[in-house]
Amino acid sequence: MKHYTNPDTTIWHGRVSNKYLYLHEKVRCIPLSEISEPPKKSIALLGYACDEGVKRNQGRIGAVKGPKTIKNSLAKFPNHLANTVLLHDTGAIVCKNGDMEAAQKELSKAVTILLEKKQFPIVLGGGHDMTYGHYNGIKTYLDSKKNKQTIGIINFDAHFDLRQNTNGNNSGTPFYQIAMESKKEDNTFNYLCLGIRKDANDRTLFEAAKELDVKYVLSDTFQMQFLDEINTWINAFIKTVDKVYVTIDLDGFSSAYAPGVSAPSPMGFTPEIVLECLKTTIGSGKLISLDIAEMNPKFDIDGQTAKLAASLLHHIIHTIY
């Protein structure tokens, strides 16, 4: 694969126990071409080292180094996974010469391969433009099955990312691209966005959300005191689809928790509400794949955002299996 690099074993280091007490002792670095169907439950981490979409969207570049930084932070976390669960680092998709579209296509192929090999893919970014490639990888895999299955997207984010791509694709257009292709194929565009801020989306984006029948929860409602109502909306959304793809944009969190992102704001949501909603989503049994976007080490403070991303990952992998 032209836009791909093998896993970097030097990322995975930390306190040594010789008893698999830490995730750097648990993980196995295996190139994508060598991934095989496991005898056990298996999670595959895949990087998306690309911030070309952020650059095109006039954001702060630096997220290209996000995948390695998240993996390095996760390496030091304790391992509570059962021996029957495998954890793989399968390398990273990279963007060469600004060719984001080629990187997205490679990501799509990689996600399809991982699903075919019975892995649970977790993609680490990198710009949110990875959603377009990630979604299409899931879709290709599901379309190969006899029974057609619908995909619901749950996005934890301050932004709709529904900008029109008339002037080209970027990190702000992926959901619009998916919506247009769904319309062309006469498929329903199933999109729930949690944490939307009015100060982060202009009027035309709210109009686009209404026109495309996007479900969303505003930031002033996406709070712990409204958890029961939020879970009711999540469950209602999940009931309408066969599979769920979750994407977490780190710039949706308050910059008090996530300063190292492409578009920071102090007005974002808290980790607690996301963790609770993830429990609900994972508990549905419909989650097929997940990603974390917009990790930007260039602007991180004391590794705080990387630790947040790693903590989210730690929770997710220990909740899935």
Could you list the residues known to form a binding site for Mn(2+), using ranges: 128, 157, 159, 161, 249, 251
Q: How far apart are CA 222 and CA 94, in angstroms?
A: 34
Helix residue ranges, H only, 65-99? 66-75
| CATH number (domain holding residue 12) | 3.40.800.10
Q: How far apart are CA 125 and CA 165, in angstroms?
A: 21
pLDDT in tens, 173-221: 999 999 999 999 999 999 999 999 999 999 999 999 999 999 999 999 9
Domain that holds residue 217: 4-320
The conformation of residue 83, written as its DSSP 8-state character, comes to T
Number of structural domains found in the chain: 1
Predicted local distance difference test score (pLDDT) of residue 113:
97
Count the Cβ atoms, other than its own, within 10 Å of residue 136: 21
Contact present, 212 and 189 (Cβ < 8 Å): yes
Q: Is the pTM of this model over 0.85?
A: yes
Could you list the residues known to form a binding site, using ranges: 128, 157, 159, 161, 249, 251
Rounded to a whole number of angstroms, the CA Rg of the chain reads: 18
Residues 6 or more apart whose CB falls under 8 angstroms from that of 202 comprise none
Q: What are 247's strand-pairing partners? A: 155, 291
Per-10-residue mean pLDDT, the chain, length 321: 95 96 98 92 98 95 97 98 97 97 98 97 97 98 91 98 96 98 96 98 98 98 98 98 98 98 95 98 98 98 98 98 90
Residues 6 or more apart whose CB falls under 8 angstroms from that of 17 comprise 25
pLDDT in tens, 265-296: 999 999 999 999 999 999 999 999 999 999 99
